[in-house]
Every structure is written in C-alpha cells, then in structure tokens.
Amino acid sequence: MTSRERFQRALDHKSVGRPPVDFGATAATGMHMATVSKLKETFGRDLVFWGGAVDTQKTLPFGAPQEVADEVRRRIEVFNADGGFVFNAGHNIQAKVPIQNVLAMFEALRDN
C-alpha cells in the first residue's frame, strides 16, 4: 500500500498499518526538527508523517526564497526517507506571505 492509499484509508476511518501523524505545527509547538528527525528514524516505517514541510511561522513568511527552498529540501530529505510523508505546509498559507516564497516552496517540492 502506498503512503497516499494508507492516508486515504485513515481519513476513511479504516485500519491502516501506518497511521498518519501531523507534524505541521512544529514551529508553533516548539518541537525542534532534530526531535522530529529522531521520531522519523525510530518510527518512520510504522507511521506516515503529515505536514512539517516548512516553518509557516518564520521561514515561509519572513525568509528569502532561497531559505524557503533550502528548508523544504531538508525536510523532504528527513520526512521522505523510506516513504511515508504527506507534504503539507500546515492548514493554510497566511495572507502576507510573499508569492516568491510560495513559489520557492512548490518549486523545491517539484524538484525533489
């Protein structure tokens, strides 16, 4: 079963071998990426990691486009190891985020 199929089964409240875990608010909760990396390393074959694609509180709204792209690439590298990653930048993109940063996020995703 692919990560996408597994996630859809979880949304449909069906049994899955790898339940999704939402890590979209790591910046808001103060959870450091080193902690998330260790969780991925330890439980990555058993869980689907949802979110955490980019820091939506600092990097996406206030970073330079290159900083956004670099962070997205690093997080894809961590979360996508052995599969089980649903790319998500959180619930929404805030109104004053520069469009160049949004494009940098999606371009980094496309290129990885």
On the CB side of 51, how many CA atoms lie within 13 Å of its CA?
16
Tokens of 75: 């997080």
- Asked if pLDDT for residue 60 goes beyond 80, the answer is yes
pLDDT value of position 21? 64
Cα separation of 51 and 75, whole Å? 10
Q: Which residue is it, tokens 């520069």?
A: 98
Overall pTM surpassing 0.75 (yes/no): no
Q: What is the pLDDT of residues 22-57, one digit of tens each?
A: 665 555 555 667 777 788 888 877 777 777 788 888
> Token digits for 98?
């520069």
**DSSP bridge pairs for 50:** 22, 86
Per domain, the residue ranges of the chain are 19-111
- State CA 94 to chain mean position distance: 17
- The CA–CA distances, whole Å, from 75 to 16, 17, 63, 87 equal 24, 23, 16, 9
Q: Which residues contact 13 (CB under 8 A, 6 or more apart)?
A: none
Residue 20 is predicted with a pLDDT of 61
